[in-house]
Amino acid sequence: MRLKKHQSITLAVLFVITLTFIGVLLAGVVVAAMASSDSSPYQVNLRYFQATATPFQPNSFANILEDGTIELIPQPMLTPTPVPIIPVGELPENQRNILLLGVDDFGEHNFRTDVIVLASINPKHKTVSLISFPRDLYVTIPGYWSNRINTAWALGGFELLAQTFEANFGIRPDNYMMVNYNGFKDVVNSLDGIDVNVTEELQDACETDPSGWCILEPGVTHMDGGQALWYSRSRKTTSDFDRNRRAQDVILAIFRKAVSLNMLIKAPELYGLYREYVDTDLQLLDALPLLPMASSLMNSENIRRFAVTPDMVSNWITAEGAMVLMPDYYSISNMLNEALYRNE
């Protein structure tokens, strides 16, 4: 089907917005602050449930002091060895790699990127590969020894996080999209809800059922913004790996809905949400060369899902007593080679 000029431009705008949606949904897993915010028009009513403490407590190296300085710690007993940079020519031409980041705030030096997904867009194969990285992955941070990957942004912004990816995984992201959690419900509701393919049963505390407990069975479920938020960020009964998987379930649902033709008329409204809730260095002109992919990506089979899984890491305790995930670089490299079409 040949598209007219105005339709092509509309699809280009929608393509950028759709990429943004992928980042927007990721904010759903870091919205705990909404539970205690009196000013937010939306509430995640978790204050009546006992919070589940994460077993991965930050070490002293990660502390960002109020004056913006960094509290350094001694060199850990064991430091991951950086991997070689992927040489030029071993990745497809014109492949664009975008970091999708979910954070609890946009303030300076006061947040961590607790959701990290690398979206690799491949024009040759007309696919997008989504690659999830756990927040507690213990990596080499150039200039700062080793720490959790989610501390890199607070230490040096996108530049340092990009260097961290390059040093540990051999790939340097081209751009980033950072999403504030506040926009998640609005975006899903502006799409009139989404149809999520629930891939595994989920049982967890919720506020939508009088019993305070919700159960989702595998299958397609229509969700509004609140339900999608609960599904993405539920944590009392599951792990970070499970949340990464559910986030990708919602990514696909948002993508399918956003690229449907009946959503074109909502482009102005959706673009407004994009401008309000997303911090990014990606410009519309950056997406125009990817326009020919738009029709192919309407088929969700062209969205490939990858993740750093439990068999690619091992639990480890740092010298400061923090529990982290030590990466198996060999296993992660094999996964990335497939996801990025390396040496195809």
Tell me which of 310 and 211 has the higher pLDDT: 310
Range picked from 15-24, 78-87, 208-217 for highest mean pLDDT: 208-217
pTM of the predicted model as reported, rounded to 2 decimal places: 0.73
- Judge whether residue 77 has pLDDT over 60: no
Q: Using one digit for the tens of pLDDT, what is the confidence trace for 100-119?
A: 887 765 555 456 777 899 99
Q: How far apart are CA 325 and CA 224, in angstroms?
A: 34
Tell me which of 5 and 254 has the higher pLDDT: 254
pLDDT at 204: 87
DSSP 256: H
Residue the block writes with tokens 């954070």: 103
Q: What residue ranges define each of the domains in the chain, with the CATH number in brackets?
A: 5-339 (3.40.630.190)
> Which residue, 295, 253, 30, is CA-closest to 130?
253
- Spell out where 26-145 has E strands: 96-103, 115-122, 127-133, 138-140
Residue the block writes with tokens 């399918």: 256
Q: Are 181 and 102 in contact (CB under 8 A)?
A: yes
Q: Using one digit for the tens of pLDDT, what is the confidence trace for 13-55?
A: 455 555 554 444 344 333 333 434 444 444 444 334 343 333 3
Q: Positive or negative, the Cα torsion across 159, 161, 167, 173?
A: negative
Element (H, E) at 315: strand 313-317
Query: Which amino acid does the sequence have at 36?
Result: S
